[in-house]
Structure 1
Amino acid sequence: MSAAEDSHDVGGADKSASGPASRSRVSAVLVSLTLALVIVAVLSACIGQVPTSPLEVLGSILHRIGLDLGPMPAHPSGEVTLWEVRFPRVVLAICVGAALGCSGALLQGVFSNPLAEPGVIGVSAGAAVGASAVIVVGGTFVAGWAVAAAAFVAGLFTTAAVYLLARHEGRTEVVTLVLTGVAINAFAGGLIAFFTFVASPSARDQIVFWQLGSLNGASWNAVMIVAPMTVVGIAATVMIAPRLDLLALGEHAARHLGVNVERLRQFAVLIVALLVSASVAFTGIILFVGLIVPHLMRILVGPGHRALIPASALAGALVLLVADLGSRSLIDNADLPLGMLTALVGGPFFFWLLRRTRAQQGGWA
C-alpha cells in the first residue's frame, strides 16, 4: 500500500474515531474488557484445592480494606490460601498480560509491521539465555530470585545489543532492526541449546519448564517489582500514542509534522525492554499474547493508539488470566505450562485472524 493510501486510511480512521459512534464503541469495548477482567479475576481466585466462593473472595477483600461486608472464607485455610497463593498469582497474571499486550501494540505501531511482537527485538530470547546460564551454573537449588534477576538483566542487555548493532550512521532502519533481532534470536537459541545440553538432568528440566512459561512461582514480591514497571510502561506508551498515530502516516510525513522518529523508536524499544524483561523474568517465555491481542483490538477499536494501547493492555491481562485459569483447571492436580496453552490456542487463532483481516481489508497496512 502506498504512502498516499496510508495517509488516506489513517486520516479516515482518525475522522471516524472522532465521531460519537466510534467513541461510544471504544468506550463500550474498554468497559466490557474491564468488567470481564474483574469477573475472571474473582473466578480465578475461587478455583483451587481449597474451596472458595465468589462471595467469600469479595468478602475477604472487603475485610482487608476495613469494610465488614460479605462472608469470610469458611475453610480454615481459605484466607491464607487467597492472600498468599491465589491473589498474587491473579495480580501477576494481570500485570504480565497487560505488559505483553501493550508491548505488542507499541512495537507494531512503531515498526509499522503487523508481525512485530516483543520477541522480535530479542528480549525474550535474551532473558531465556540469562535464566538458563544461572540454572546451569547454580545447579538444581539455584534461588528463584537469581534466575529472575539474570533473566531481567539479560533481556535488557540483549535488547540494547540488537538496537546498537542495527544502528548505521546515527539511524536505525526498521528492516535492519528486525533482521538483527532475527540473528540475535538465532544466536540466543544456540546458547540455550548449549546450556540445555551441558546441564544436569534436573537443571535441564528446569530450563525447559522455564521456557514454557508458568505463574506457579507468583508471589507478592514479584508483583511489587512487575506492577510498578507495568504501570509506568503503559503510562509512557499512552503518552507517546499521538506520535505513533503520526508515524502511521509514514516516516517522512511524521518528520514533517515534528516527530523525531529515531528518538521515538529508541523510547519505544526501551519501554518494551523494561516491560517484557520484568514480565518474563518471573514467568518465563509466554508466546502469542503480544502478537494476537493488538490484532484483535485493532479490529474492535480501530488503529488509533490512544484507544488501542489501553484496550491491548486490558485484553492482554484478560487473555493471560484466562490462560492461567485453564492451566490450573484443565487437568486435576496439574499445572500446565502457560506458554504451551497460549501457543496451542494462539497459533490457530492468529491464522484465522489473518485470513479474516485479509478477506475484509486486503491485509493490514
Structure 2
Amino acid sequence: MLLPGAVASLFAGSRPMPPAAVIEALLRYNPQDDLHLIIWSLRLPRMCVAVLTGLALGTAGALMQALTRNPLAEPGLLGINAGAALAVMTGISLFGLVSIWEYVWFGLAGAGLAGAAVFVLGQAHETGTNPVRLVLAGAGLSVMLGSASALIIINAPPDVLDSFRSWAAGSFEGRGLSVAAALALAAFCGMLIAQALAPGLNALALGRDTGAALGVNTRMLFSLSCVAIMLLTGAATAAAGPIGFIGLVAPHMARSIAGPDYRWILPFSGLIAAILLLVADVTGRLIAMPAEIAAGIIASLAGGPFFIAIVRRLRLRQI
C-alpha cells in the first residue's frame, strides 16, 4: 500500500502528469523540462516528507501508548504537537529562522517541554491505566499552547503569516528536500531508539512492577522513550506542522495486524501512519483541485470519529 500511495502522490496535483513523464523524470532528469522540475522540486520532496512524517508520528504514537499503557495517548491529543508548534513559531517569528536545520531544534525543545508538562499535570506515572486524566491534561495544555500560537500568527508579518497558515494546517505543500533530509535524520534516530526499547516495552506491558522484576530498568526505559518521542514528534511538527490523530489511529491498526509484540507494533505503526498520511495528502489535492485541502485537516476529519469510537468502546467514566 505504501508504494501505490507514493506513486499516486507523484501523479496527483493541480497539473495533470502523464505516467510516461513521471517515469522519464525519475529515470532521466532534464532540468530544462518543466514537468521534470515539478516532480523533483515539488512532488518528490512532498511525498518524502509525507512518508517520513507518518513514520515519525506513527512510531511516536505507539511508543506513547506503550509507555503510558493508555490507548488514547498520541502526540496531538497530549499537547506535544502543540508544544512543538509553538516553539517553532516562536523561533521563526522572533529570531527570523528560515532553515529547518535551525528551527527544528525549537521543535524538539517544545515537544520535550510539553511532554514533561502533560505528564506532570496528568500524573501519568500513577494513572497509566486510567486514560481520562492524562487526556484532559493534554487537552487543556493544547488549548493554552494553541492560543499562544494563534496570537503569534495574528501578529506575524503578512509574508510569515502566509507560510504559517499553510504549515499550521498540517500541509506538505512547498516542503523541499532540505526539510526531508532533516526529518529523515531525526526520524531515523528516534525510530532506532524506539526499536531498541521494544523488548523492554513488552515487559512493561505486563505491569511496571512485573517489568522491573524481569530486569527492565524502568527509569532508563522511560528516559530513552521520552528522547525518542521528542525526536520523532518535534521533527515531524517542524517539518509538516501539527498533525493530529495519525499517531492514535495507526498503533491500533498495527495491533490488529501484528499482535501484542512491540517489536512489530512499532514498525507497523510507522508504516500504517505513512500510508494514511499519503492517502490524506492525495485526497486533499484531488477533492479541491486546482486548490487543495491540507493533509492535517483530512487526517483530523477521519481520525475524530475513530477517537470517539475508542472512547465509547472503552466506556470511560468522567472524573
TM-score class, shorter-chain normalisation, is 0.7 to 0.9
Q: 1:207 deviation in Å? A: 4.0
The residue aligned with 1:251 is: 208
Distance 1:61 1:202, change over 3 A: closer
Relative to the length of structure 1, the TM-score reads 0.74
The residue aligned with 2:35 is: 78
CA contact (8 A) 2:79 2:118 kept: no
Q: 1:275-314, aligned counterparts within 5 Å? A: 275-314=232-271
Output the CA distance in 1 between the equivalents of 2:127 and 2:143: 17
Asked if residue 41 in structure 1 is aligned to residue 10 in structure 2, the reply is no
Aligned residues between the structures: 310
Asked if residue 173 in structure 1 is aligned to residue 125 in structure 2, the reply is yes
Asked if residue 159 in structure 1 is aligned to residue 112 in structure 2, the reply is yes
Residue-by-residue CA offset, 1:66-108 (whole Å, 9 max, x unaligned): xxxxxx99x9422221111111011110000111011101110
Paired letter, 1:321: L
TM-align CA RMSD: 3.2
Distance 1:152 1:212, change over 3 A: farther
Q: SS at 2:99's partner residue? A: helix
Q: SS at 2:201's partner residue? A: helix
CA contact (8 A) 2:85 2:110 kept: no
CA contact (8 A) 2:5 2:279 kept: yes
The residue aligned with 1:52 is: 17
Segment drifting more, 206-215 vs 96-105? 206-215
Q: 1:190 deviation in Å? A: 3.9
Tell me, which stretches of 5 or more residues in structure 1 are unaligned?
1-35, 65-71
Q: 1:354 deviation in Å? A: 5.4
The residue aligned with 2:275 is: 318
Q: SS at 1:320's partner residue? A: helix
Paired letter, 1:91: C
The residue aligned with 1:100 is: 57
Selected match of 1:127 from 71, 84, 101? 84
CA contact (8 A) 1:42 1:54 kept: no
Q: 1:215 deviation in Å? A: 0.4
Tell me, which stretches of 5 or more residues in structure 2 are unaligned?
none
Q: 1:332 deviation in Å? A: 1.6
Between structure 1 and structure 2, the one with the greater Rg is 1
Segment drifting more, 204-213 vs 39-48? 204-213
Selected match of 2:295 from 329, 338, 353? 338
Selected match of 2:175 from 215, 218, 222? 218
Q: 1:51 deviation in Å? A: 3.3
Percent of aligned positions with the same letter in both sequences? 31
Q: 1:252 deviation in Å? A: 0.4
Residue-by-residue CA offset, 1:30-54 (whole Å, 9 max, x unaligned): xxxxxx1111111210123443334
Output the CA distance in 2 between the equivalents of 1:39 and 1:193: 37
CA contact (8 A) 1:124 1:155 kept: no
The residue aligned with 2:198 is: 241
Output the CA distance in 1 between the equivalents of 2:240 and 2:54: 11
Relative to the length of structure 2, the TM-score reads 0.84
Output the CA distance in 2 between the equivalents of 1:206 and 1:228: 24
